[in-house]
Chain A
Amino acid sequence: MIRRSLAFGLAVALAASGVAWAQQQQQQPPPAWAQGRPPEMANSRLAPHPPRLTVTPPEQVPVAALRVPAGFRVELWAHGIPGARMMTLGQNGTVFVGTRVIGRVYAVTDEGGQRRVRTIAERLNQPNGVAFRDGSLYVIAINRVLRYDGIEGRLDDPGTPVELTAAFNLPPDEHHGWKFAAFSPDGRLTMNIGVPCNICEFDRDRYGLIVSFRPDGSDRRIEAKGIRNSVGFDWHPVTRELWATNNGRDWAGNDVPPDTLHRIRRPGEDHGFPFCVGDWNDPAVPRRNCSEFVQPAASLGPHVAALGMRFYTGAMFPEQYRNQIFIARRGSWNREQLIGYDVVVARLDAQGNVTGIEPFLTGLLDQANDRFLGRPVDVLQLRDGSLLVSDEQNGAIYRISRAQ
C-alpha cells in the first residue's frame, strides 16, 4: 500500500522566510512546488507524493476497494502501464496513454477480450498530451510535438514521427509545462500552457492559457486566459462550448482556493489567475476587482487536483448521465487531510448551469488512515459507452460499465 510521503521536499532555503516570494525567486528559486509558501508554513511537512514507476502486479491493484453507484460495475481493464495518465481513443479502438516522469507513451489494444500493452514511444520529456485525428497520433511533451501517422496499423513499429516542434513553438518551461491535448470539434489541436510557478505574475498572453492550433502548428489562438493549469477539457456535445478543469494554487491554506471548472463561452476571455478564483482575491498578488473576470462554473474542491474530464455521450449509462461531465480528481498533497482520489460527476441543467458535484468512483482514499490507494488522472468513454479511468499510481486502467 502506498504511504503518504513523509516530508518529501521542504529543502529550499526558505530559512530566508519573511522575504517576499518575488524576491525569493530572484535570489534562489525554491523548487517549483514550494514557491509561494508563506513563512508561517515554512515548517510544513506537506510535499508532493512520490511517483511509482514500476509495474504494479495485478493482484496488488486495489480494484477490490473501488466503489461505484448501484447498477454499475468496475473492473481492472488493463495493467502494467507505469505512470498511466491522459488517454485518447484511436479510430480502431486503440487506447493511447501518455505519462510524465517515465517518459513513455503506451498503446493498449483489446485482443480477444484481453488487453495488450505496448510502449510505442519513450525517452520523452513528460509526454502527457495525446490526441488522435485522421489516423495520426499527436504526442505533446514539454516543448515538443510529434505526429505518428497511420499509427494503428504499425503499433509494433511506429517508425520515426513527424517532428512538429518548431511549428508549435511551445515555451520550454518545465513547471506546469506538461500538456493535456485534444482536438476540438472543428479540428483544432487544443492544449494548456500552464504558469511556470505556483503563484506569480507572468506574461498573461504566453502562460496560463488554453490555446488551439491548426494540426500543423499554425494559426495559434488563445481560447482562454487566466487559467492557472488545465490538465483536462472537453467540448459540450450539444453547445460545442469548451469546458475545462483548472488546478488552484498551493500554500494558501487547507481550504482555499478551490480547483475549478470553467465554461468557456467565447475565445480569449479572462478567467482571473493569478488575481482571483471566483470572488477570492489571492493575497500574494495585487488586488483586482474579481468581477472583471469570468466566474468559474463550479468549485471542485481545494487541492483535489481535478484533471481529466469528459462529457458522457454514450448509451450504456442511464439517461441522467447524458451530457454530464465525469471528472478525475487525482488527489491532494498540499492539504493537511487528503482529499480527492476519486471520479465525480458534474451535473448540468439545460442551461448549462452546474447544479451539483456528485461522487461516482470512490474507494481509493482511506480517510481513516489518511492514505491513498491510487490516483485517478483521466476518464475516457469507449464506443460501447463504458468509461475508462486511468490510475497513475498503479499503472492501471479501470473500466466502469452498466451492471448486467
Chain B
Amino acid sequence: MTFPLRSLAAVALAAAAFLCTAAGAGGNDAAQRGAALAEARGCGGCHGERGHSPTPNVPSLAGQPPEAIVLNMILFREGLRDAPPMPDLARDLTDRQIEDLAAFYASLPPGPPEDRGAPDPARMREGALLAERLNCGVCHLPDYRGQNQVPRIAGQREDYLLLSLRGYRDGTRRGTDTNMNAVVYGLSDAQLAALAHYLAQQGER
C-alpha cells in the first residue's frame, strides 16, 4: 500500500508552521517527535498536512484530545477496530510513537475541511434537535470539542461523521466501550445524516 509523499517544500512549510505553534506551547517534545513521525509515515496524505482531512470518510485529527487518538490507534494496532488501511499502518507502532502522534495532532488548531459545504437549514434544525435529545454535548462538551477519549466532532468531516454514526448504529464499530452504540440505537439514516450535517457545521467558520 502506498501513500502520496509530500513535496519537500510542503514538508518544510508544515514543519516551520508546526515549530511556531509547538514553541508557543512549550515543552512539547512529544508533539515534535509526532510531527516527524507523521511526516515520515505520510499521515497527512489522507488526514491533511495540518490535520484537516481533505479525504472523504477520513477524519480530521487537528485539535483532537490526545487520549481519543491514542485509544483509537491502540484499537487499530491490536486488531480491535477495522478501518482499512489503519490496522496495517498501526501494526508496528510503539505506545510511545502513538502517544507522540496524538500529541502532534492535538497541538494543531482545529478547523473544518476546505471542501465543507454550506449549511442546509432543514437538516440543521433536525440535527440540532437530535443533538439536544441525545445529549451529545454532555460527553463531547457543549461546543463538541471533545474530552479525554471522547473525540472532537465539531467541524469534523460530514461524510466521516455519518460513516461513524452508521457503524455505531449497525454494530460494526464500537469504542473502548459500547456507549455510542446505545446512543444512536434505532435512529434512521435520515436522522443520522441530519446529525452529521449539524455537527460538521459546528466550530470555527
Decide: B98 and A101 in contact? CB cutoff 8 A. Answer: no
Q: Known contacts being A82-B95, A104-B78, is A11 close to B148, with CB within 8 Å?
A: no
Further 16 A-B residue pairs, CB within 8 A, beyond A11-B180, A51-B176: A7-B147, A8-B148, A10-B139, A11-B135, A11-B183, A12-B182, A12-B183, A29-B182, A31-B182, A31-B183, A32-B178, A48-B177, A53-B74, A102-B78, A102-B80, A104-B78
Residues of A within 8 A of B80 (CB): 101-103, 123
Q: How far is the CB of A83 from chain B (nearest CB, A)?
A: 10
B179 engages A50 (CB within 8 Å): no
Report the Cα distance A48→B177, complex, angstroms: 10
Also in contact, A13 and B176, with CB within 8 A (given A55-B95, A123-B79): no
A122–B135 CB distance below 8 A: no
Q: Which of B96, B139, B182, B183 is close to A8, meaning CB atoms less than 8 Å apart?
A: B139
| A54 pairs with B78, CB closer than 8 A | no
Shortest Cβ gap from B114 to chain A (Å): 30
- Chain A 2-40 per-residue mask, 1 if CB under 8 angstroms from chain B, else 0: 000111111111110000000000001111110000000
Top 9 A-B pairs, shortest CB-CB distance: A31-B179, A54-B95, A10-B138, A123-B79, A31-B182, A53-B74, A55-B95, A11-B139, A50-B149
Which residue of B70, B79, B136 is within 8 Å of A54 (Cβ)?
Answer: B70
Measured between C-beta atoms, what is the minimum distance from B147 to chain A in Å? 6
Would you list 22 pairs from A and B whose C-beta atoms are within 8 A, ordered by A residue?
Answer: A7-B138, A7-B147, A8-B147, A8-B150, A9-B138, A9-B139, A10-B139, A11-B139, A12-B135, A14-B135, A28-B186, A47-B139, A51-B149, A51-B176, A53-B70, A54-B70, A82-B95, A101-B176, A102-B74, A103-B80, A104-B78, A122-B79
Residue interface bits B60-86, CB-to-A below 8 A is 1, else 0: 000000010011001000111000000
B12 within 8 A of A: no
Question: Is A282 close to B, CB under 8 A?
Answer: no
Residues of B within 8 A of A82 (CB): 95
Assuming the A-B contacts A7-B138, A11-B139, are A50 and B95 also in contact, with contact meaning beta carbons closer than 8 angstroms in the complex?
no
**How many angstroms from the CA of A267 to the CA of B205 in the assembled complex?**
65
- Please report the C-alpha to C-alpha distance between residue A9 and residue B136 in the assembled complex, in whole angstroms: 9
Chain A contacts with B in 44-100, Cβ cutoff 8 A = 47-48, 50-51, 53-55, 82
CB distance from A119 to the nearest CB of B (A): 10
Instruction: Count chain A residues whose beta carbon lies closer than 8 angstroms to a beta carbon of B.
Output: 33
- Who on chain A is nearest to B138 by CB? A10
Verify A15–B133 contact, CB threshold 8 A: yes
Chain B residues with CB under 8 Å of chain A are 67, 70-71, 74, 78-80, 95-96, 98-99, 132-136, 138-139, 147-150, 176-180, 182-183, 185-186
Chain B residues within 8 Å of A5, by CB:
148
Q: Nearest residue in B to A6 (C-beta to C-beta)?
A: B147
Interface of B is mostly: helix
A392 to B28: give the CA distance in the assembly, Å.
27
Q: Which residue of A lies closest to B70 (CB)?
A: A54
Residues from chain A with Cβ under 8 Å of B135 in the complex = 10-15
Q: Is the CB of B176 within 8 A of A9?
A: no
Q: B178 to A174, Cβ gap below 8 A? A: yes
A54 to B71, CA, bound (A): 8
Name B133's contact: one of A13, A31, A54, A174 (CB within 8 Å): A13
Given A28-B185, A53-B176, are A11 and B138 also a contact pair (CB < 8 Å)? Answer: yes
* Most chain B CB atoms below 10 A, which of A11, A33, A48: A11
Query: Which of the residues B132, B148, B176 comes within 8 Å of A6, measured between beta carbons?
Result: B148
CB-CB < 8 A to A48: which residues of B? 177
Instruction: Report the Cα distance A47→B177, complex, angstroms.
Output: 12
Query: Once the chains bind, are A54 and B147 in contact (CB under 8 Å)?
Result: no
- Of all chain A residues, which has the CB nearest B137? A11
Given the known A-B contacts A10-B139, A11-B135, A15-B133, are A31 and B148 also in contact in the complex, defined by CB atoms under 8 Å? no
